[in-house]
Chain A
Amino acid sequence: MTVAAGIGYALVALGPSLSLFISVISKKPFLILTLLSSTLVWLISLIILSGIWRAFLPLNSTSWWPFAILIFSSVAFQEGLRLLFWKVYKRLEDILDAFADRVSKPRLYLTDKMQIALAGGLGHGVAHAVFFCLSLLTPAFGPATYFVDRCSQIPFFLVSAIIALAFVTVHTFSMVIAFNGYAEGNKLDQYFVPSVHLAAGMMTLINFAYDGCVIGIPLLFLMAILTLMHCGRMVWRRLADNQRQGIS
């Protein structure tokens, strides 16, 4: 591979995030701050998890169930952190609304709240992509390529970029769904997010099987599209409801 391929892989993993950043997030400084802080929170969660799991590493790569436990515990921890993130955000929302009242400016619109959630989710997604794909990409800029035995049709770097893209999508839109679920008290949305996150995580275990990536990756993308569609439907419903009620 060469510089061209290296840039290509980076764009596959992070291109849509870049587009989202440029078109939506960069317009409002508060969103940039939200994105950075959620990236930081996600990385801290990884540090804590790795601190706990360090004692058990390296895992035996021939059996898959230790990895299942690893993924389960990590997802559970991160979902718990998401709840915490939500609580912090709620307090921040109250502070911002109070401030807006004092200076006689309008309060946070629904779209603003959704954008904040989007920024939070994007922060998680970018952190995942950088940590699990970009950090491995340095050898991709050299002349050689690499194929893993168990997924010998596609170069390794392409596989990791595609998986990172799927996870970015899942993380970004899950946050919107989750914040909405907590705000509305909608149980479906509240349980949807952790389940999808866990399912997506477990699906990566399919890659352990010989040529499993041929099945695993499309399934992962299915999860991503599911998240996207559910988010779209939920957003549409909320905005339609809002309009009908005349609340701006």
Chain B
Amino acid sequence: MDIKNFFLILLFSIWFRSSLSGQTNSMESVPDLQKSMYMAVDGYPCVRLVNLSGEIGCSNPGRDKVVSPIIKYKNNKGLAQPSAILLSMDDVQGFFSRVSNDSSFARNVGGVLVESGVAIQHKQKGFSPAQKFPQAAFAPYLNTTYEWNPIGSGIMWKSYNFPVFLLSESSTSALQEIAMKNEKAEKAYTKNVAEFDVVMQTTKVGTHDSESCLTEETCLPLGGYSVWSAVPPINNSSSKQSKPIILTVASMDAASFFRDKSLGADSPISGVISLLAAVDALSHVDGLDDLKKQLVFLVFTGEAWGYLGSRRFLLELDKQSDAVHGLDSSLIQLVMEIGSTGKGLSQGNKTFFAHTKVSSGANEALDALKLAQESLKSEGVTVSNASSSNPGIPPSSLMAFLRKNSSTSGIVLEDFDTVFANKFFHSHLDDSANINSSSIVAAASLVARTLYLLASDKKDLTNSALSAINVNASLVEELISCMLKCNPGLSCELVSSYIKSTNTCPNHYVGVVLGEPSSTPYPDQVDDVSRFVWNFLADRTSTPKGNTSVCSEDCAKNGGLCIRAELDGKGVCVVSTTRYVPAYSTRLKFDSGTWKVLPPNSSDPMGMLDPVWTESNWNTIGLRVYTIQEAAYDRLVLLGGITVTVFAYLAIVLTRAYITKALKQD
């Protein structure tokens, strides 16, 4: 009987338990309550950048967080109180010009939240926060008012003393709802506010120019690591290099109003992809050792911020430093730059333009380009000379070479003629949807075949030799999806077979120089894309093919390199000439732990024009949204609490006195 009862109770409790514990979305602790009160919003901030004479970018105005109610922007209405303004992409340009012109309006801007998402209007007009002639001061010609980028509004080159965030797609809809709730004002004494934490150290300490902020260590200079590689590898032990050098150049850094969303798909990453694909195509050609000229491929970084990569490379060449060991600047015969190549496709034909300064070396290169074009005729690829009404070459690394030595022969291959074809130059909208992979493949084929023609120096090369040089279109597709998309991003197969990337979503902002710049940096000093490019080039340019061994100490002794070193396993030892070159301003020197600004030197004319960009340090950057009660309501609650307490006290005292009196007891 007892056992039966026991089993009944057991069954009941089991059934009871299973019916009770179910799915709940309720909170279980005070930290859960805290978390549900504050909604963390993910967004991309605009940060404070400092140069020798002033600042650009955005920051909190002081040391404190900025808390303002969220309202949606209406361009015909003013602002009654400091507010966090929710902007749609179409209103961005109008808003920022209004802020620059109307100081009473600007005073009431607490912070800005820019929506992201699918909006058709701005896609047709274009959006570019860059200048109309980017980095005009560095041009080797006088006409600096020419508009290479007519859509450019220049808003990213101004200074704002309020924080600006670009919202992610999921946050955009949430914040639109909140702004609407604020407008409807359902509960009169509450407001939905955004709390911005973009406190920049340069603002806190008060160092508003590069020199003082570098001395105070509240900022770090912009820069990174460029990569160069030689095809075929340069043999150090052989006699002095006498082969003339053909330099093929591209740049891998983009800029944008929002530092963490600098994709730069067309400008300039399409050029890097073309370069990598061309190297891959050439690596499959036999007889590279018999070429009459040495091919060197160079991928610069920091070009968007004063041509840091190219200028530093030229300085290192002059100093004959370790980073450029094996290269002799007097042997450089031609500089071929691959600019934007992603927008050359129109009606099935891929059209490119060769921008150059007239010289014999350039003419030779143009002839080779024409021959290469002939061999690609079946694919509708054409190369034309750029219009003679252009004032000169477009903004490109070649400007640094020409400024150094105006007799340098150079060509810039671009997908545009008189103005940029890229309507989203230096904006977060210059993404993979803005480019076409077949255009990049065509440019890579052109470059690969042209280089082969130039290097082999045989005017009567047969078509069959040229048509053996083919660019792998699926490699280009893969590079696009690795370097320009978040999915798969830098965790794609190609990249993860070389490096262990720190982020999945690729970002091509140059970043700051971490630690002391050197030609053999540690992996954590170099960013993901640079490390990938180094590994890829080392792998593709290595000879002989297939002769690899596990990395050991002997590798470097025998003139080899360790690639894939970050993966599990020791890495692979290959024979290749692939090196990092630090990319930072020629006006800076890293001396005993701090950066020092060098005085302008007339032997470095570009250095005299260099603004010396640095980025402010910060503690954290965050954005939260929550509901607040008005101060009057808070005070009312306090008053209520005090009243209740005092009232209770009085009641108790009265009752006690009454009882005592009524009983006549002590």
User: Interface of A with B (CB < 8 Å)?
Assistant: 1-2, 4-5, 7-12, 15-16, 18-20, 22-24, 55-62, 66, 109, 111, 135-136, 138-139, 142-147, 153, 155, 158, 165, 235, 239, 242-243, 248
**Structural contact, A144 and B644, CB atoms closer than 8 A:** no
- Interface stretch among B142-150, B498-506, B634-642? B634-642
B30 touches which of A19, A135, A242 (Cβ 8 Å): A135
Q: Is there contact, CB below 8 Å, between B638 and A4?
A: yes
Bound CA–CA A98/B349 (angstroms): 112
Q: Which residues of A have CB within 8 Å of B665?
A: 109, 111, 248
Asked if B659 contacts A7 (CB within 8 A), the reply is no
Q: B627's contact among A7, A15, A16, A144, by CB below 8 Å, is which? A: A144
How far apart are A248's CB and chain B's nearest CB, in angstroms? 7
- Residues of A contacting B38 with CB < 8 Å? 144
Give the interface SS of chain A, mostly helix, strand, loop or mixed. helix
B1-31 interface with A by 8 A CB criterion: 13, 16-17, 19-26, 28, 30
Asked if A15 contacts B641 (CB within 8 A), the reply is yes
A12–B640 contact, CB under 8 A?
yes
Task: Judge whether A23 and B653 touch: CB under 8 Å.
Answer: yes
Q: In this assembly, does B34 line the interface, its C-beta being within 8 Å of a C-beta of chain A?
A: yes
B644 and A11: CB pair below 8 A?
yes
Q: Which of B611-661 contact A (CB under 8 A)?
A: 626-629, 631, 633-635, 637-642, 644-646, 648-649, 652-653, 656, 659
B21 A8 Cβ-Cβ under 8 A: no
B33 on the A face (CB < 8 A) = yes
The 8 Å CB contact of B659, one of A60, A139, A239, is A239
B174 at the interface (CB under 8 A from A): no
A12 touches B67 (CB 8 A): no
Whether B648 and A15, one on each chain, are in contact in the complex, defined by CB atoms closer than 8 angstroms, is yes
Beta-carbon contact of B20 and A66 below 8 Å: yes
Contact of A165 with B627 at beta-carbon distance under 8 Å, contacts A58-B21, A59-B20 already known:
no
A155 to B626, CA, bound (A): 14
Q: B663 near A: Cβ within 8 Å?
A: yes
A233 to chain B, nearest CB (A): 13
State whether A145 and B641 are in contact (beta carbons under 8 Å apart), knowing that A16-B648, A59-B24 are contacts in the complex.
no
Given A12-B640, A138-B30, A239-B662, answer yes or no on A4-B635 (Cβ-Cβ < 8 Å): yes
Given A15-B645, A23-B653, A58-B21: A243 in contact with B663 (beta carbons within 8 A)? yes
Question: Are A144 and B652 touching (Cβ within 8 A)?
Answer: no
Chain A residues whose C-beta falls within 8 Å of the C-beta of B634 in the assembled complex: 1-2, 4-5, 8
A4-B634, A56-B17, A58-B21 given. 7 additional CB < 8 A pairs?
A9-B637, A20-B652, A60-B19, A61-B26, A111-B665, A147-B190, A155-B629
Q: Does B598 contact A (CB under 8 A)?
A: no
Contact A18 B641 (CB under 8 A): no
Closest Cβ neighbor of B192 among chain A residues:
A144
Q: Say whether, besides A8-B637, A109-B665, A56 and B24 are in contact (CB < 8 Å).
A: no
The interface residues of chain A lying within 8 Å CB-to-CB of B22 are 60, 62
Interface centre among A22, A59, A235 (most CB of B within 10 A): A59
Chain B neighbourhood of A235, CB < 8 A: 659
Would A19 and B20 count as touching, CB distance under 8 A? no
Query: Please, how many angstroms separate the alpha-carbon atoms of A153 and B17 in the complex?
Result: 35
Chain B nearest CB from A23 CB (Å) reads 5
Q: Kindly state the separation between the CA atoms of A109 and B660 in the bound complex, as whole angstroms.
A: 13
Residues of chain A lying within 8 A (CB to CB) of residue B648:
15-16, 19-20
Most A CB contacts (10 A, CB to CB) among B13, B20, B629 go to B20
On chain B, the residues within 8 Å of A61 by CB distance are 24-26
A1 to B642, CA, bound (A): 17
Residue pair B16, A56 in contact (C-beta under 8 Å)? yes
Q: List 8 A-B contacts (CB under 8 A).
A: A11-B638, A16-B645, A24-B656, A139-B33, A143-B195, A145-B190, A239-B663, A243-B663
- Asked if B37 contacts A11 (CB within 8 A), the reply is no
CB-based contact A158/B33 at 8 Å: no
B16 & A139 in contact (Cβ 8 Å cutoff): no
**B638:A24 contact, CB within 8 angstroms:** no
**From residue A11, how far is it (CB to closest CB) to chain B in Å?**
3
Q: Does B36 contact A (CB under 8 A)?
A: yes
CA distance A5 to B633 in the complex (A): 8
CB-CB under 8 A from B642, the residues of chain A are 8, 11, 15
Q: Report B10 CB to chain A, min CB distance, Å.
A: 12
Residues of B within 8 A of A10 (CB): 641
**A1 CA to B629 CA in the complex, in Å?**
6
A146/B627 contact (C-beta < 8 A), A19-B648, A58-B26 known: yes
A136 and B30 contact, Cβ closer than 8 Å, known pairs A8-B639, A239-B662 = yes
B69 to chain A, nearest CB (A): 13
- Give the chain A neighbours of B633 by CB distance below 8 A: 5
What residues on A are CB-neighbors of B656 within 8 Å?
Answer: 23-24
Assembled-state Cα–Cα distance A127/B244 (Å)? 89
Is there contact, CB below 8 Å, between A111 and B16? Answer: no
> What residues of chain A lie closer than 8 Å to B19, measured between beta carbons?
60, 66
Residues of chain B within 8 A (CB-CB) of A57 are 20-21
A153 to B186, CA, bound (A): 10
A20 to B649, CA, bound (A): 7
Most chain A beta-carbon contacts within 10 A, residue among B37, B631, B653: B37
C-alpha gap A4/B626 in the complex (Å) = 18
**Residue from the list A7, A109, A111, A139 in contact with B37, Cβ < 8 A:** A139
| Assembly CA distance A19 to B26 (angstroms) | 35
Contact B641 A8 (CB under 8 A): yes
Q: How far is the CA of A16 from the CA of B642 in the complex (A)?
A: 10
> Would A19 and B641 count as touching, CB distance under 8 A?
no
Task: Knowing A8-B639, A15-B645, say if A143 contacts B17 (CB, 8 Å).
Answer: no
A70 to B, closest residue via Cβ: B20
A184: shortest Cβ distance to chain B, in Å? Answer: 19
Residues of A within 8 A of B37 (CB): 139, 142, 144-146
Bound CA span A86–B644, Å: 31
B645 touches which of A19, A145, A147, A158 (Cβ 8 Å): A19
A11 cross-chain contacts in B, Cβ below 8 A: 638, 641-642, 644-645
Indicate which residue in B17, B628, B637, B638 contacts A144 across the interface (CB closer than 8 Å): B628
Cα–Cα, bound, A222→B25 (Å): 32
Give the residues in chain A near B17, CB-CB below 8 Å: 55-56
**Closest Cβ neighbor of B624 among chain A residues:** A144
CA distance A8 to B653 in the complex (A): 23
List chain A residues, Cβ under 8 A from B195: 143
B:149-173 near A, CB below 8 Å: none
Q: How far is the CA of A243 from the CA of B640 in the complex (A)?
A: 39
**A92 CA / B631 CA spacing, docked (Å):** 51
Residues of B within 8 A of A111 (CB): 659, 663, 665
Which residues of A lie under 8 Å from residue B187 when comparing CB positions?
147, 153
Bound-state Cα–Cα, A111 to B660, Å: 10
Partner among B24, B34, B645 whose Cβ is within 8 Å of the Cβ of A60: B24
Q: Are A147 and B638 in contact (CB-based, < 8 A)?
A: no
Closest chain A CB from B526 CB (angstroms): 41
Question: Which residues of chain A are within 8 angstroms of B13 by Cβ–Cβ distance?
Answer: 55
> Nearest CB to that of B649 among chain A residues?
A19
